[in-house]
A = this chain, B = another copy of it.
Amino acid sequence: MSSPIRVAVTGARGRMGSEAVAAVQAAPDLELVAALGRGDDRAAAEGADVLVDLTVPDQVMDNLEWALARGMHVVTGTTGWTEERLAQLGSWQAASRRPDGRPANVLVATNFGLGPVLIMVLAAKVAKFFESAEIVEMHHPAKVDAPSGSAIRTAKIIAAARAEAGLGPGPDATTQELPGARGAVVDGIHVHAVRSRGLTAHQEVVFGGPGEILTLRDDTFDRSAYMPGLLIGIRQVASRPGVTVGLEHYLDLD
């Protein structure tokens, strides 16, 4: 058996971070070398193979610069990425050096849930086969945005796949509509957002053709759902050159 991957976590006292620390500790092929919160000395993380950053937008850049300067691979689930930030990250990555002289690698993923990521990838693959496509997402009532960012991204992916296949708008004879009944329209795709006590995060993509419906549905019940995807990131970052944006690129679904 090969030696374990040495992992340091920043943002380790946050909700995602503490879950990540536990997941790394529970994995026999991973070794936790440091679990750092805001203000902790990063020296403890030196010598890690992979830095897992689960902090906030005002800390992530500093952590990633520090880690890449030391030749660590980086996996981050922190949000707030702009073109400018990604460009900066790219230059740090290009200048980084592993002990073997090659650059370190980076995975930037704003969603480590396998379900939501798979829904997007699968939807992109099948969209061209169906005349109709709509999205119903359902979330807890404390959510402030509707539709969810994930549903918007899924709609855009479906719209792009339809355009590439030469599909026009889906059939819809609606002429009498109570305002909002047909949902929000994202690049031509209708998206409906349900909010209810009891729900967490759920998404249903409904594809329809003559005489048939294909439904892809994801239910995320709690934060533990993000751990399998995070572990895939940690285990694979060493073999995925460069800066990768989006967990889907690590899933080998093509």
Say whether, besides A141-B172, A228-B210, A190 and B198 are in contact (CB < 8 Å): no
Say whether B198 contacts A211, CB under 8 Å.
yes
Interface centre among A122, A129, A138, A181 (most CB of B within 10 A): A181
Partner of A253, one of B125, B209, B211, B215: B125
Per-position contact with B for A146-190: 1 when CB-CB < 8 Å, else 0? Answer: 110000100000000000000000111111111111111110001
Q: A173-B141, A198-B213, A218-B213 are in contact. Are A114 and B129 (CB under 8 A)?
A: yes
Shortest distance from the beta carbon of A61 to any chain B beta carbon, whole Å: 26
Smallest CB separation, A41 vs chain B (Å): 32
Asked if A233 CB lies within 8 Å of chain B CBs, one says: no
Q: How far is the CB of A220 from chain B (nearest CB, A)?
A: 5
User: A65 contacts the other chain (Cβ, under 8 Å)?
Assistant: no
A5 at the interface (CB under 8 A from B): no
| A194 close to B190 (CB less than 8 A) | yes
How many copies of the polypeptide does the oligomer hold? 4
A221 touches B218 (CB 8 A): no
A53 an interface residue at 8 Å Cβ cutoff?
no
CA distance A9 to B222 in the complex (A): 29
Residues of B with C-beta under 8 A to A228: 129, 209-210
Given A181-B191, A195-B134, also A173-B212 (CB < 8 A): no
- Bound together, the chains give a CA A230 to CA B83 distance in angstroms of 45
A176 near B221 with CB under 8 A, answer no
Chain A interfacial positions (CB closer than 8 Å to B) = 113-115, 118-119, 122, 125-126, 129-134, 136, 138, 141-147, 152, 170-186, 190-200, 206-228, 251, 253-254
A125-B253, A183-B193, A215-B216 known, 20 other contacts, Cβ within 8 Å: A113-B212, A114-B214, A115-B213, A115-B214, A122-B125, A126-B253, A130-B197, A131-B197, A132-B198, A145-B176, A146-B176, A152-B178, A171-B195, A180-B181, A181-B192, A200-B221, A209-B225, A211-B227, A212-B219, A215-B215
